[in-house]
Amino acid sequence: MTLDELTGKLDGVRPTGRGVRARCPAHSDHSPSLSIREGERGLLVKCWAGCSLEEITCTLGLTVKDLFFDALSTDPHQRREAMRQRTQATHDAEGRRLDTFRQAEQLIQSARGISIEGWSDDKLNAALNRLGTAYALLDSEGQA
């Protein structure tokens, strides 16, 4: 099973720096407490509220074995190709993450020293929201 296939079965999915967070299907989850990311051999799944891996997979109609990449195919060529694609996807995601951080840093740098006199409340609120998001993003990675 791939990360995309698993997240397609979940609600409240949002990306994080290393994977995704979602609402845990094994309990009444109102804020995302389920962390999922790709490991070397399969998907790493953890409910921070304490649900077991078996409870989570059972609720989704899966088995723990389904989370391992080797379960995708018995053909070694297909497994190698799947691994190559996962590696490429990981590199692509890391590149997008770094681009986002660079854009956040540029936004913050460009906002220094600008005059906000004459700005409407809407324009000021929009700019402050963008800056707040940029600072939060950088802070989440310890870069702010």
- pLDDT (tens digit, 0 to 9) for every residue of the chain, 144 residues total? 788 889 999 999 998 888 899 999 999 998 899 999 988 788 999 999 999 999 999 999 999 988 987 665 667 777 677 777 777 877 888 888 888 888 888 888 888 888 888 899 998 888 888 888 888 877 776 655
Q: Report how far apart, in Å, the C-alpha atoms of 133 and of each of 55, 76, 105, 126, 130 are.
A: 35, 44, 11, 11, 5
Domain ranges of the chain: 3-71, 74-140
